[in-house]
Homo-oligomer: A and B are copies of this chain.
Amino acid sequence: MEHTTVIVKKKVKMSNPVLIEGLPGIGLVGKIAAEYLIKEKKAERIAILYSPHFPHQVVMQKNGVVRMLKMKFYHAKAGGRDMLILVGDVQAATSEAQYEVTGKILDYFQSQKGRQIITLGGYGTGKAPPQPKVFGAATHKKIIPRYSKGGVAFGQTRGGIIGAAGLLLGLGRVRGMHGICLMGETHGGYVDPKSAQAVLLALGKILGIKIDVAALAQKADAGEKFIRKMEAEAKKQGELAIEGGAQPAPRDLSYIR
């Protein structure tokens, strides 16, 4: 247990599964999207990942019980496809730890004969977009056309994709896998359910499955008003505080857990 370990809770026979990753990151876009997808598709938790590279603490819960920090794999079937959805409390903090954890995730995915990876995240622009675009970045040039559905824009983003959303693609490619990172346009300075909604809609089109985003849209609308207000205040005061990438979701998002 003192190494990064995947503990399989339930063995599921999958056929050509797609890995969908949504760990904490910019605007919590990927995390919100993946956790919503788990709820919407009634996905089942089938495996857990622990790592000594996660913070050395346990979380106290309302029911008086402690729990380890972890990542979780959920399984769902949609549109005839097996989906393996990865969510979690944290990302590892150092380069070496990120490579190790990503490697363990890919080992498990490989043991399920998986080859396609879609990672979800936010692309921070410093501005609150009225209608968030969805950007894509792929492992191979030739696969871009089949992902360009639903308005996903390739080649319009610059810089690095930091953490698991990037490394799963980079290390996955070395193992013969392929896929993309779907990035929702977002401010970067606050939690953004609206951007997560845009990402989910694009994901649904890509996978050819229906994802009912009604509940998330409702929350996003409520959130947007709050965000506009925050932004207006921030303009007065100078600069928005940037929320760190690898943090557990704040309390007000607990509804989607």
Chain A positions within 8 Å of B, measured between CB atoms, are 1-2, 7, 50, 52-60, 62-68, 93-96, 98-100, 102-103, 136-141, 144, 154-155, 157-163, 166-167, 169-171, 173-175, 181
**When chains A and B are docked, how far (Å) is the Cα of A137 from the Cα of B157?**
43
- Specify which chain B residues have a CB less than 8 angstroms from the CB of A98 in the assembled complex: 52, 56
Whether the Cβ atoms of A67 and B138 lie closer than 8 Å is no
Whether the Cβ atoms of A99 and B66 lie closer than 8 Å is no
Q: How many copies does the complex hold?
A: 4
**When chains A and B are docked, how far (Å) is the Cα of A52 from the Cα of B170?**
12
Q: Is the interface of A mostly helix, strand, loop or mixed?
A: mixed
8 Å CB contact of A137 from B50, B66, B100, B159:
B66
Whether the Cβ atoms of A163 and B57 lie closer than 8 Å is yes
- Specify which chain B residues have a CB less than 8 angstroms from the CB of A175 in the assembled complex: 1
- Specify which chain B residues have a CB less than 8 angstroms from the CB of A173 in the assembled complex: 68
8 Å CB contact of A167 from B58, B154, B155, B162:
B58
Whether the Cβ atoms of B96 and A138 lie closer than 8 Å is no
Given contacts A2-B100, A103-B1, is CB(A181)–CB(B57) below 8 Å?
Answer: no
Contacts A/B (CB < 8 Å), 5 sampled: A52-B98, A54-B95, A58-B169, A60-B158, A63-B155
8 Å CB contact of A57 from B7, B54, B62, B160:
B160
